[in-house]
Structure 1
Amino acid sequence: MNSLLWPPPALGVVYAGGLQLGAYALERQGRAERERVLRGCSTNVDNLAAGRWETLLSSAFVVEEPMPLPYALLLVAVLGYAEYAYGAWWTVGVFLFGHATATLLVFGALRGTADAPTRRALDVGASYGFNAVLGALTSALPRGPVRTAARVGLLALAAGPVLKRERTFTDAGHLAALGIGVGLSLALDYLSGTKHLKIG
């Protein structure tokens, strides 16, 4: 058996499973308690402006409601392959760095301009970290047109919602996180050459 496949990557399963279980547990709480927990973990403008920097971490470990199955499976697949290709610590580091950095970029953009509802809006979940890892994983694709097309295509898909009139700050955060991941993948290309694992 290939030693790279044993033990099998478990990070995505553990993380996504924990998010789902937490979401189901919150649904069993009263409305007031659920709202208290979510707002306490949220990286909204009011929380960060008040110095609640711990929400940069806690917000990545709760979701407002159980994730749709296709998204949960995609999250497991992306984190699982990242763990297989680069290791658990690399995956966790990219995920948390992308999550926190994209959040701070959005906070910086909104701090002086957001209206009251936006400042208090719930902002929790896995999507920023997921986008960062997805962008970074483009470095595992074959060099040349395939890798370049994947990066351009992903960035174009993420930019689409930002260009719409009804865009939200979360759309901007997704684009920022993906851009961070792609930037990390370019750095990885430069530092590691062709030594890292590739898809295919």
Structure 2
Amino acid sequence: MLPTPAGTPFTFVYRVLLGVTSLIGAYVDPAVLHALLRGSSTDVAHLVRSPELVLVGSALWVAGGVASPFALGFVLVLTALERRIGGLRTAGVFLLGHVLATLATEVPVGLAVLAGHLPDSSLHRLDYGVSFGVAAGTGALAGLLRPWLRVPLLAAFGGMLLRDLAAFTDPMTNWGHLIALAIGIATWPLVRRWHTRRAVPAGGDAPA
């Protein structure tokens, strides 16, 4: 259930990086931390100027710190997913959810500002963290589980996301979580094929 350097190198190294940034967040001056987070934010203004930089930088922070639900989900979900489909493919699922859910929530904001429906300040909303990637990983992992595990996982996680959306405290991020979960579910044909190939030795037959 926990990442190891040999068994799940992607999750292990990524978790170490998140631990480092969490320590930075805990001990640096608040003004410095705010500047770091602002510079990593995937808001519309940053996505227009330096999309690659902020899409990577924003994924190096955990919103809410290492004790947040998504921090725990990162370790458990990505470890389980990487053990089933491998590190590179797990990274691909994570990035797919992180990037597409970010664009799906930020592009409408930019268009709304251009149309005059939102103020210019909306172009600079603080947006960072691993939660979209974790949501996509959860959706993908569910497709590899037996129904008696898949259904409760999706019901519990989806229910939590819907409850957050209903609270209306951060609707753009909450919609992004649901979109990322749907992206993960959409990868089921791929992740199931990857899992089957990983489980069958080269030149061997699939288990009966």
Shift of the 164–66 alpha-carbon distance from structure 1 to 2, 3 Å rule, reads closer
Shift of the 20–193 alpha-carbon distance from structure 1 to 2, 3 Å rule, reads closer
**Further displaced range: 9-18 or 55-64:** 9-18
8 Å CA contact 1:128, 1:173 repeated in 2: yes
8 Å CA contact 1:132, 1:182 repeated in 2: yes
**Further displaced range: 156-165 or 144-153:** 144-153
Aligned to 1:34: 33
Shift of 1:87: 0.4
Shift of the 40–193 alpha-carbon distance from structure 1 to 2, 3 Å rule, reads closer
Aligned to 2:127: 123
Partner AA of 1:127 in structure 2: S
Q: Report SS of the residue matched to 2:111.
A: coil
Shift of 1:139: 1.5
Q: Does 1:137 align with 2:141?
A: yes
**Further displaced range: 132-141 or 110-119:** 110-119
Q: What is the 5 A alignment of 1:82-121?
A: 82-113=81-112, 114-121=118-125
8 Å CA contact 2:58, 2:128 repeated in 1: yes
* Deviation sequence 1:76-97 (CA, Å, 0-9, x none): 1111111111100111111111
Partner AA of 1:33 in structure 2: V
Aligned to 2:56: 57
Aligned to 1:16: 15
The alignment of Structure 1 onto Structure 2 pairs a total of residues equal to 191
Q: 2: CA distance between counterparts of 1:38 and 1:193?
A: 36
Report the TM-score, using the length of structure 1 for normalisation.
Answer: 0.79
**Further displaced range: 129-138 or 160-169:** 160-169
Partner AA of 1:135 in structure 2: G
Aligned to 2:188: 185
Shift of 1:147: 3.7
Q: 1: CA distance between counterparts of 2:19 and 2:149?
A: 34
Structure 1 residue runs without a partner (length 5+)? none
**Further displaced range: 73-82 or 22-31:** 22-31
Report the TM-score, using the length of structure 2 for normalisation.
Answer: 0.76
Q: 1: CA distance between counterparts of 2:194 and 2:138?
A: 18
Shift of 1:182: 0.7
Shift of the 24–149 alpha-carbon distance from structure 1 to 2, 3 Å rule, reads closer
Q: 2: CA distance between counterparts of 1:10 and 1:174?
A: 25
8 Å CA contact 1:162, 1:172 repeated in 2: yes
**Further displaced range: 116-125 or 69-78:** 69-78
Structure 2 residue runs without a partner (length 5+)? 113-117, 200-208
